[in-house]
Structure 1
């Protein structure tokens, strides 16, 4: 069942339940008030007839004639009067005697002073009444035909109104629920128009600052992220294809040329050396891509533990030197640390080695002397690692783009690369809750500052 129908039925059920609840309260209140008012009427009739008979000395025959005549038209009150010896002194209709008073009933009336009860649907009241130092017992009984008729009419009208109300409440609920769900329906239709080829499509934002507007804004923000992710993925795949295709094409071309003619041993060696260099480019690119994928994982999926920054930097320096013996790296401490945990960070050893190695290699690669100065500085709860070179530098316009994957600026003619190293280092450092600050001047060098929190 649709939510719209469920809400309509729920609204109808709650509304009808409230209506029935108050109708029941009204009915039983009316029923109680009818009984109370009729007992009050019986009391007045009993006292009035007692005064007419005892005080005004109206003959019994006249009072009985009035009772018989009125009983033909309305439900007249039947009154009986007993003296203190329980002797019947007056009765409206002794031949009918609906109440049929007993000695025990009269005793109870005398003790309690008043007695009210139902006999069938007739209401009966018994009173102890004093007059001129004499005690009398009066009973009065009658059938409230008008009251019961009004009560029955109230019940009938209430049931009729409830039945009619169910129909109108359901229609009203359906109309308002439909109005409420109209924006959601439109939103659903708009979402159905979104596809991989139409990620630029956005939901319409209403001027009302309600929950649905917030939902639409959140959904549009998600689409922005998805669109950026898809665009990045397309560019990523395009760049990977280009980076891999170039060395592969070079290898194939070199092998084809070598196979088309007879070559000397030196020619073959030259061809193999070029193919080897191109194959190394592919391997390095593949390793960088794997490391880039690892750095993009959810932090909860990566193993972190306390590691020493100085040891990781030493391993990174050795790793870079193995790549190129001409690279020179100086590692130094700017200040002394008093406790061992000041040089420890909570991190992943492998990923930090990759980040540091990329930063060191970047400095060596773009310096004429192939030299990078690495220094460690402990400041309060932070560790600052500086990677400084005296290379060609980076322009101010390019500083904003150097951490984008596959981006290569004007320095691409200076040294070969894939454009992944710096973006990979930035991802890894951010994964560890740190940041990279870079400053550079053309032809004067570049400094990368990595800031991490120590234990």
Structure 2
């Protein structure tokens, strides 16, 4: 069953319950009002006729003649009077006697002072009446033809209105459901158009901050994550196939040339050495590409924990100097820190260490003295780490594309590389909610400033 049908049925069901309760309340109120008003009339008629009989001394025959004449045109009230011993004193029409008073009824009247009851749709009231110190029982009964006709008309009108209302409610509910669910239908049609080849499509959102807009925005955010993942995968495959082609081609060419004829041991060793260097380049490239892909993951898929920045920088420094003993890295704290929280951030230790290693290696690699300075600062929002060298610097033209994957600028002739390090570093820093800035002057040096916010 479609949601549109469910909403329509639920709307109709609730409306029917409300209408039924409202109609029932009106009918029962009208019925009660008829009874109250008619019993009040009966009581007045009983008292009036008792007064005429006792006080005005109107004869019984005269009262009976009036009753019989009125019965031919209107629903006249039938009145009977009994004394305290239950003997009949007066009756409008004893030969008719619609009431058929019983001793139980008379006892109840004398005990309670008044009794109301219904019998065969006749309304009957019995009251206690005093005259000259004696107690009498007066009963009045009549059939409320006018009142019952009004109730019947009200009942038939209510049924007709009820049926007509259900039909109108169904029509209104149907179009209401169509109108309410129209944005969902549009979202469904738009979502059907989205595939792996056009992940740039998005659902249309409105300024209204309702549930459907929130759903559309959540869906668009999911598409953003999927698009980033697809782009990262496509970029990874494209880049690795492009970058691995060169060292593989060099290894194949080196081995083919060596195998064409007999070589001396020295020539074989040289060929093996060249092939080994190319293989090492492939290993470094593969590791960089794998780190680049990991840095492109959804942050929710990467584990974070509280890490001390000073310890992480020391580990990165030892790792670099282990493979490059001639690199000199000085670490300086610009100000003292009061506790561990001030020097710690929520981070992925491996990735952040990789980013620091890349910045330190670049600083030493492009510096004639193979030396750089790492300085640590603090502010109220996080930790700032400065990586400063006095090397060859970077031109203004290259600064614009410095963080583009696989881009190598004018200084590529000074050192080997694959153009992934800085783009990887930028992604890692942004993955941690931080920022990275660079300042450089040609032939004077370069400074990278990394800001990592407190996130705990």
Report the TM-score, using the length of structure 1 for normalisation. Answer: 0.86
The within-5 A match list for 1:176-325 is 176-204=176-204, 211-213=211-213, 215-216=215-216, 219-220=219-220, 222-223=222-223, 226-295=226-295, 296=297, 298=299, 301-302=302-303, 304-307=305-308, 309-325=309-325
Q: Which moved more, 1:74-83 or 1:171-180?
A: 74-83
Q: Please, which runs of 5 or more residues in structure 2 have no aligned partner?
A: none
- 2:355 aligns to what SS in structure 1? helix
Q: 1:157 Cα shift?
A: 3.1
Q: Which residue of 1 aligns with 2:14?
A: 14
Query: Compared with structure 1, are the counterparts of its residues 130 and 396 closer, same or farther at alpha carbon in structure 2 (3 Å cutoff)?
Result: farther
- 1:101 aligns to what SS in structure 2? coil
Preserved CA contact (<8 Å) 1:236 1:405: no
Give the whole-Å Cα distance in 2 for the aligned partners of 1:318 and 1:187: 55
> CA RMSD for the aligned pairs?
3.2
Q: Which residue of 1 aligns with 2:90?
A: 90
Give the whole-Å Cα distance in 2 for the aligned partners of 1:19 and 1:381: 61
Query: Compared with structure 1, are the counterparts of its residues 432 and 232 closer, same or farther at alpha carbon in structure 2 (3 Å cutoff)?
Result: closer
Query: Compared with structure 1, are the counterparts of its residues 55 and 389 closer, same or farther at alpha carbon in structure 2 (3 Å cutoff)?
Result: same
Q: Which moved more, 1:39-48 or 1:84-93?
A: 84-93
Give the whole-Å Cα distance in 1 for the aligned partners of 2:255 and 2:230: 37
Query: Compared with structure 1, are the counterparts of its residues 310 and 139 closer, same or farther at alpha carbon in structure 2 (3 Å cutoff)?
Result: closer
Q: Which moved more, 1:2-11 or 1:333-342?
A: 333-342
The within-5 A match list for 1:352-431 is 352-377=352-377, 383-396=383-396, 398-399=398-399, 401-431=401-431
Give the whole-Å Cα distance in 2 for the aligned partners of 1:187 and 1:297: 25
Give the whole-Å Cα distance in 2 for the aligned partners of 1:360 and 1:207: 47
- 2:415 aligns to what SS in structure 1? coil
Q: Please, which runs of 5 or more residues in structure 1 have no aligned partner?
A: none
Query: Compared with structure 1, are the counterparts of its residues 35 and 367 closer, same or farther at alpha carbon in structure 2 (3 Å cutoff)?
Result: same
Aligned length: 454
The within-5 A match list for 1:26-105 is 26-83=26-83, 86-105=86-105
Q: 1:349 Cα shift?
A: 4.2
Deviation sequence 1:129-159 (CA, Å, 0-9, x none):
3456654431111222332333233223323
Deviation sequence 1:150-186 (CA, Å, 0-9, x none):
3233223323332332222112211121122223212
Query: Compared with structure 1, are the counterparts of its residues 323 and 41 closer, same or farther at alpha carbon in structure 2 (3 Å cutoff)?
Result: same
Preserved CA contact (<8 Å) 1:299 1:431: no
Q: Which moved more, 1:115-124 or 1:294-303?
A: 294-303
Give the whole-Å Cα distance in 2 for the aligned partners of 1:201 and 1:416: 40
Preserved CA contact (<8 Å) 2:374 2:386: yes
Deviation sequence 1:260-288 (CA, Å, 0-9, x none):
23333333222222211111111011222
Give the whole-Å Cα distance in 2 for the aligned partners of 1:186 and 1:312: 51
Report the TM-score, using the length of structure 2 for normalisation. Answer: 0.86
Give the whole-Å Cα distance in 2 for the aligned partners of 1:313 and 1:205: 45
Preserved CA contact (<8 Å) 2:236 2:289: no
Deviation sequence 1:28-69 (CA, Å, 0-9, x none):
111111111110121222233234433444332233233334
Deviation sequence 1:5-24 (CA, Å, 0-9, x none):
10000000011111000011
Preserved CA contact (<8 Å) 2:306 2:344: no
Give the whole-Å Cα distance in 1 for the aligned partners of 2:453 and 2:231: 33
Q: 1:247 Cα shift?
A: 1.0
